[in-house]
Structure 1
Amino acid sequence: MEKNSNQTRVLSLPLVLKSLVPSILGILFFLIPFDGPHGPTVMIGIVGYAIMDLSSRLLPLTVVAIMLISAVGAIYVRIHEPAWVRNHLFLRSAFMISKFWILVRAVGAVLGIAIILKLGPEWLWGENTGGLVLHELLSVLLVFFFLASIFLPLLLDYGLVELVGTMLHRILKPVYKIPGNSGVDIIASLLGDGTVGTLITARQYEKGYYTGREAAIIATTFSVVSISFCIVVVNFVGLPHMFPYFYLTVVCTCLIIGLVLPRIWPLTSIPDKYHPEADSTVVDNNGQQLSLVSGLQLATQKAGSAPGPVKLLQIGLFNAFDIWLVFIPVIMVIASVAMILAETTPIFQWMGSPLVPLLDLLQIPEPEKAAPGVFLGFVDMFLPAILCRGIDSEMTRFIISALSIAQLIYMSEVGVLIMKSSIPLNFWQLLSLFIIRTVMALPIIVLFARFYFL
């Protein structure tokens, strides 16, 4: 009797509405295409570009200010190690970092100042190098990182992930060789962020929800970057009207590749064993099957424990500042160096030249310009988008930018996280998986692109 009353309470109308209404709003904000001033896009794109139109002059200055705070704060904490930083989770995460990352932040801040004031040679701050990165790329990221941090809880914190994950569990194990509860990780990556999905996977592996092989499959096959970042990429390469097709292509490509990778080397070489310190109770319960009613209960329980609007806004702001302080200086340095090398040296053309015959065979327009972007995604997923922005062919821009997302493994974030975690993957395995993903993804994306553009 107590169990039935508890289920009735969990599935009560107020809790169902508390789960349903925010989830629907999240779907409308992130997943449903609308016609906007810049062409068809999702609601976050419409809101983001409205903000940029109103504050275009302030955004580059804001980016530089954030990089200065990031660098100066990290240097101060490194020298003085104040207790008020050590005892604060957000400040500790944002500012207690290694000497290498302090150097990266300092270089990013110096670059930002030089670009704003046009100091030094023009190749440093020009409109095709540092100026492009600061005024267009980072200004866009600043806005979309903020909006994603504020509004993604509508998708992630009110039960949608739990409900959909429960519905997926019956196909994940036989088809993708991963357990049903990994649906939460997958959806958190697709709707939230690939790095978040990777962190969740590592923690779930340590607790005993996955074996080492299952954790490796999830981290290298399903940790796709967020919807909001894909919107940034699509808008940056001048294809906002293609976003629904772009994201559909990326997801379908990853799902197709996911049918193959778990069944071949190097993933098959990873022991299918649980973490040595895994909770034995969790391991014993891993075979339990969940029904739709159980999924609804999990969803409403999640909604019932979700924070109120004020707390949710506070968490969103903290997340936005954390992302700004950590990632904006890194992107500033990597993207600026890449653009300077692309503009002043032929290094990327040399690197891409062996791929030109392959791209030509696939009948990709402007193969010489596209080739350098094919393998640069291993360094950072945004570099191919930066390099292909000047390509005239919309089809080629679509292919290279979609490929950079579907490649999934990039060392500036996900690769480093995997190697630092307990997931049993090393650098050479990650490089092998990146190459295999690239070889498989390219013809799939070309087929999608031909359907859209020809």
Structure 2
Amino acid sequence: MPASRSTSASRTWRDQWPTLAKLLLPSTLGIVIFFVPVTLAGRHTILLDHLVHAARAALGEASGFYALTLIVAGALYPIYTGHWRRSRTDLIFTLLKWLGVPVALLALSGAGPAFLQQPDMLPFLFDKLVIPVGLIVPIGAIFLALLIGYGLLEFIGVLVQPVMRPIWRTPGRSAIDAVASFVGSYSIGLLITNRVYQAGQYSSREAAIIATGFSTVSATFMIIVAKTLDLMAIWNLYFWLTLLITFTVTAITVRLPPLSRLEDRKTEPEPDIAAGRRWATALKEGLNVARTAPSLTQSVWQNLREGLVMAISILPSILSVGLIGLLLAKYTPVFDWLGWIFYPVVAPWGLSEGVALAQASAAGLAEMFLPPLLMSDAEFVARFSAGVVSVSGVLFFSASIPCILSTRIPLDVGRIVIIWFLRVALSLTLAIPTGYAIQVLGAA
């Protein structure tokens, strides 16, 4: 009998090997592409960055026209889908997308007022942000299929369930949302969150915590931030420390109003996993996803399509809102005034560019790329802190806030702005000493 049972178990594992390979091989390749730096042609960076660099080199001067095409498509998309009619917010952002079209034409032609064509205005915004984002989002989306499509997320999600409730006050399944947002995008995370919330599996408080605490910009966007701030030499340190700070800030904000005061009832609570079965359950969940996952060709095509839709959705507003933000930062005192709110957090650390960092952090409410853009020439600690804050702040008006407002999650603009303020203040409190520590240890 024992021999028969052993033979049966052996046969079961032999049958599982193809599925196990389907889980491990794409996931491992995705990890290598996103997180393992290699040196090619004298450049030491991750493979995804090498691919984007090669694509831009291949396009040459046509890269600007490629970005213009995406921006025009992005302006037309809400008209085609009818999304501009859904709310006043959607109408405003549709107008901002349309504003992005003439701005892109000015950037590409070099025409227009002289103050727009200064090196730190439109040329910098278009060349250092718009074109790289237009390339990295669809290219990154292709390889995100390897990370999120073959069971790795589910495997990790089950393993971290025991820490989700005590630390972030969310159920274990929210780990999938958190990782999907960080390696995918806030739009993917919000899509998952909204669906689960409407199914009654998240309470209002849990859905709001996930939307404002986990649905941050993706790893592919973080590469753009790191490149802008000249942090690619410490990419892995920057990525993992930013992830740690982002989720630490979330653990604090869930215990503060307004999040702590939201309703915490749901109709479909999550079942507990039996003791001693977590690894087995995690592997089972990962294998189940891998078994039913589409072919690599189908997955790549689906992710490329979603990546292109995302690129055209964000590129016009990044350009228009980004330009408005740069103009406000350079020619008005708006962010100077707003930045003083954060200066008491920055001042004790004695940064020579403390005021600039506080003001750049405030500008992140308009567009998450503004802190990196404004601090690109600063010294290391200020650059690192700006890079962390631009991600860990999570909330910004050019993209993530309208996405949240378009869901059923019960958050209004007032609550979102309060949560943003708390997140930025806490992020600066953690990021500045972390930057000093990296500098002292000689990693910078």
Q: Partners of 1:378 and 1:99 in 2: how far apart?
A: 19
More displaced 10-residue stretch of structure 1: 339-348 or 154-163:
339-348
Q: Partners of 1:36 and 1:445 in 2: how far apart?
A: 31
Q: What is the aligned partner in structure 1 of residue 69 from structure 2?
A: 65
Q: What is the aligned partner in structure 1 of residue 183 from structure 2?
A: 191
Mapping of 1:78-97 within 5 angstroms? 92=81
Q: What is the aligned partner in structure 2 of residue 424 from structure 1?
A: 410
1:373 aligned to 2:365?
no
Shift of the 56–336 alpha-carbon distance from structure 1 to 2, 3 Å rule, reads farther
More displaced 10-residue stretch of structure 1: 356-365 or 167-176:
356-365
More displaced 10-residue stretch of structure 1: 255-264 or 150-159:
255-264
1:33 aligned to 2:37?
yes
More displaced 10-residue stretch of structure 1: 328-337 or 258-267:
258-267
Shift in Å at residue 424 of structure 1? 2.2
1:325 aligned to 2:329?
no
1:110 to 92, 99, 102: 102
Shift in Å at residue 262 of structure 1? 2.3
Q: Partners of 1:149 and 1:74 in 2: how far apart?
A: 21
Question: Contact 2:171–2:270 at 8 Å: present in 1 too?
Answer: no
Q: What is the aligned partner in structure 1 of residue 271 from structure 2?
A: 286
Shift in Å at residue 314 of structure 1? 1.9
Mapping of 1:139-158 within 5 angstroms? 139-158=131-150
Question: Contact 1:10–1:297 at 8 Å: present in 2 too?
Answer: no
1:384 aligned to 2:378?
no
More displaced 10-residue stretch of structure 1: 298-307 or 252-261:
252-261
Question: Contact 2:74–2:314 at 8 Å: present in 1 too?
Answer: no
Q: Partners of 1:321 and 1:94 in 2: how far apart?
A: 17
Give the match's secondary structure for 1:381. coil
Q: Partners of 1:54 and 1:48 in 2: how far apart?
A: 10
Q: What is the aligned partner in structure 1 of residue 419 from structure 2?
A: 433
Shift in Å at residue 72 of structure 1? 4.8
Question: Contact 1:11–1:300 at 8 Å: present in 2 too?
Answer: no
Shift in Å at residue 354 of structure 1? 5.7
1:396 aligned to 2:400?
no
Q: Partners of 1:49 and 1:63 in 2: how far apart?
A: 15
Q: Partners of 1:297 and 1:30 in 2: how far apart?
A: 25
Q: How many residues end up aligned between the 2 structures?
A: 428
CA RMSD of aligned residues (A): 2.6
Consecutive unaligned residues of structure 2, counting only runs of 5 or more, are none
Shift of the 45–321 alpha-carbon distance from structure 1 to 2, 3 Å rule, reads same
For normalisation by structure 1, the TM-score amounts to 0.87
Shift of the 14–399 alpha-carbon distance from structure 1 to 2, 3 Å rule, reads same
Give the match's secondary structure for 1:412. coil
Q: Partners of 2:60 and 2:328 in 1: how far apart?
A: 27
Question: Contact 2:144–2:183 at 8 Å: present in 1 too?
Answer: yes
Question: Contact 1:165–1:184 at 8 Å: present in 2 too?
Answer: yes
Q: Partners of 1:38 and 1:122 in 2: how far apart?
A: 37
Q: Partners of 2:309 and 2:406 in 1: how far apart?
A: 19
Question: Contact 1:130–1:339 at 8 Å: present in 2 too?
Answer: no
Q: What is the aligned partner in structure 2 of residue 223 from structure 1?
A: 215
2:18 to 14, 19, 39: 14
Q: Partners of 1:333 and 1:169 in 2: how far apart?
A: 40
Q: What is the aligned partner in structure 2 of residue 295 from structure 1?
A: 282
Shift in Å at residue 324 of structure 1? 2.2
1:414 aligned to 2:406?
no
Residue identity in the other structure for 1:427: V
For normalisation by structure 2, the TM-score amounts to 0.88
Shift of the 326–96 alpha-carbon distance from structure 1 to 2, 3 Å rule, reads farther
Q: Partners of 2:425 and 2:322 in 1: how far apart?
A: 25
Shift in Å at residue 74 of structure 1? 5.4
Shift in Å at residue 189 of structure 1? 1.1
Q: Percent identity between the aligned chains?
A: 23
Question: Contact 2:181–2:217 at 8 Å: present in 1 too?
Answer: yes
Listed one character per residue, the Cα deviations across residues 22-81 of structure 1 (whole Å, up to 9, x for unaligned) are 000011011223345575432211222222233342211111122223335655x4xxxx
Give the match's secondary structure for 1:152. helix
Question: Contact 2:345–2:425 at 8 Å: present in 1 too?
Answer: no
Shift of the 249–427 alpha-carbon distance from structure 1 to 2, 3 Å rule, reads same
